[in-house]
Structure 1
Amino acid sequence: MAATRGGDGTAVGYLACTPAKRLEALTQLVSEQGWQGAKTTLVLPLDQYSVFQLERPEELAESELADALRWKLKDLLEYSPSEAVCDVFPFPGDAARGRGELVNVVAARKTLAADLVSLVNQSGLVLDRIDIAELALRNFAAQLDPRNQGVALVHLRDRYGQMVICKGPTLYLSRRLDVTSDDLRDAGRQENAVQSLALEMQRSLDYFESQLGQVPPRAIHLVARDAMLPLSSMLSSYMAPDLETVNWKDHGLSEALDSRCLTAWSAARSIPGGASA
């Protein structure tokens, strides 16, 4: 579990525990930190929900969209739409490329969402909102792109990575990157893993340009847990864009952020100029 206190992103930390011990660990953390009753944002990790682009029905109010589009997911979900909780967020109009007005539809299992909400409430926190990983990362990406020229952010976790491409506060693309930290560290598998990662990143940039009609960003910002591994230089030999690591001091931190906390920390960041979900 990752936690951050305050909108400025201070007091960031990661607490490792098994799923069975989450409530006990979180309750103890809330007690130790004096967080009882604190408003809380719950960020769903990438592997616990799905996002689909669907055509927006005409003459429907925003409040009706999620429920109306839920049943259009019946052939896309591995479970019944009746078992899903859904929400929507905008799809950029200049990326639709003649497909009509689109919206992003988020779907997660009701039982999973209910379990996580219960975890927050039972620990003594007060749930304020539920976010998803790419929209949390969007908050940070927007701060890396104050001129709205476009920015790519890659977050590498232990079992997979995630790449988001944004223009200012607008999310254009999110992709899961199938790479593990073990593959990147293992001498025998490292070269293939780096090549595969670079290929997935480049394909995302190509899709952003060819299918969404956008100019690719000139640089990719990379956040990885293993700071000792020179990933930027390793990837640079396979990719045209510059690979940049984040200077955390520019974002109010005295030392490098533990990358496992990135989505929680990013969810607490303010978006320059404000933005809708």
Structure 2
Amino acid sequence: MSESFLRRLFQRGKRQGSLSLEVRADGLAWSYSAVSAVSHGFLEGPPARRQALLDTLVAEHGWSGARARLILPMDQYQVFQLDRPDAIADDELADALRWKLKDLLEYSPAEAVCDVFPFPEDASRGRGELINVVAARKTLARELVKLVENAGLELERIDIAELALRNLAASLDAKSHGVALVHLRENDGQMVICRGNTLYLSRKLDVSSESLRDAAQQDGAVQSLALEIQRSLDYFESQLGQIPPRRLYLVARDNVMPLAPMLASYVAVSVETFDAGELGLKDALDSRCLPALGGNLALGGSSA
């Protein structure tokens, strides 16, 4: 985020490689990227044990002094599209727009840390120049910064889940034709649609893995998920004025169920199961680590 206490200039030469970390309610998802390999993992544990878990992880892998990127999960921040004010410098936008959120946040803007990232110019459809504004509670941000620094890591940046997933989608869209990525978690999901490095749309999907696995609920759950996906694709085309992506990549923790072909019969796009080998992973993908993996593919100029 853009405020000074969230910015730490990392010292080059301390260690090669970087750690990307998503601090979740049920544990820590991490990805470590070195010159020769990318590794990842998930440590389960309650919030009260976060520091101990991270300290142990850093000690076991010898990561002390490594630069780290924090990924905020979806439920720890909000994103709003606001009109970009005239004659405001880029580095002053976050502070200038903070108080415009007073009727949108459940807490005072004084308690928020904000940052901005671009809204695609070709998607504004005559609404003027827009900007994406990210807001999170300062108390949460400070706790996460303290967690990382107490573990002996150098905080490089804080990103958000949808931009981390954007990084993954961009890696699958080398020709910038457009691509959609759906990440299914235990109780919900997230869909992003990107073209090249640009995030056009991010939507939360109201679906649970339990309902998709349960034989009695499965047909209805698949149809409901497909309807949400297709509505997002339609919005991307009709409201944002964009050509629909050619492919949708699906990532779910339980890949035993043939969800991709089940969805493909309902949506107007090719649905494929995400191949973790494209990220250079040697181990099987733990989908809980997907945003952390995306954090290690950070793209310049567009992160929060």
- The TM-score normalised by the length of structure 2 is 0.88
Q: Deviations over 1:81-133 (max 9, x none)?
A: 11111000000000000011100000001111111111111122121100000
CA offset at residue 37 of structure 1?
1.3
- 1:3 matched residue in structure 2: 30
Which AA in structure 2 matches 1:6? S
Note closer, same or farther for the CA distance 1:161–1:7 as it changes in structure 2 (3 Å cut). farther
How far, CA to CA, are the matches of 2:123 and 2:302 in structure 1? 17
Kindly state the Cα deviation for residue 27 of structure 1 after the two structures are TM-superposed: 0.6
Structure 2 matches for 1:1-277, cutoff 5 A?
A: 1-6=28-33, 10-269=38-297, 271=299, 274-277=300-303
Contact kept in structure 2, 1:13 and 1:258, CA below 8 Å = yes
> Number of paired residues?
275
CA root-mean-square deviation: 1.3
Output the TM-score relative to the length of structure 1.
0.96
SS at match of 2:282: coil
CA distance in 1, matches of 2:301, 2:141: 24
5+ residue gaps, structure 1, are none
Q: What percentage of aligned pairs have identical amino acids?
A: 64
Residues 95 and 148 of structure 1: CA distance in aligned 2, closer, same or farther (over 3 Å): same
CA distance in 2, matches of 1:107, 1:196: 30
* SS across alignment from 2:245: coil
Q: Which amino acid is the alignment partner of residue 212 of structure 1? A: L
Report if aligned partners of 2:189, 2:207 keep a CA contact under 8 Å in 1. yes
Asked whether the equivalents of residues 67 and 153 of structure 2 are also in contact (C-alpha less than 8 Å), the reply is yes
Q: Deviations over 1:160-205 (max 9, x none)?
A: 1000000000000000001111111111211111111111111110
Aligned mates of 1:180, 1:37 — CA distance in 2? 38
Q: Aligned partners of 1:211 and 1:248: how far apart in 2?
A: 32
Displaced runs of 4+ in structure 1, greater than 3 A? Answer: none
CA distance in 1, matches of 2:135, 2:34: 27
| Residue 275 of structure 1, CA deviation | 4.4
**Which stretches in structure 2 are left out of the alignment for 5+ residues?**
1-27
- Partners of 1:13 and 1:84 in 2: CA distance: 31
Over 3 Å counting, the alpha-carbon distance change for 1:7 and 1:82 in structure 2 is farther
8 Å CA contact 1:51, 1:107 repeated in 2: yes
SS in 2 for 1:5: strand
C-alpha distance in 2 between matches for 1:38 and 1:159: 33
After TM superposition, the structure 1 stretch with the greater mean CA deviation from structure 2, 178-187 or 96-105, is: 178-187
Letter aligned with residue 102 of structure 1: L
Measure how far apart 1:57 and its partner are: 0.4
Does the aligned pair in 2 maintain the 1:7–1:270 contact within 8 Å?
A: no
* Structure 1: distance between partners of 2:293 and 2:207: 23
C-alpha contact 2:164 2:298 (8 A) present in aligned 1:
no
**What amino acid is aligned across from residue 137 of structure 2 in structure 1?**
R
User: Matches of 2:244 and 2:268 in 1, distance apart?
Assistant: 11
* Alpha-carbon distance in structure 1 between the residues aligned to 2:85 and 2:297: 32
Verify the 8 A CA contact 1:169 1:275 in the aligned structure 2: no
Secondary structure of the structure 2 residue equivalent to 1:12: strand
Distance 1:222 1:87 in 2: 29
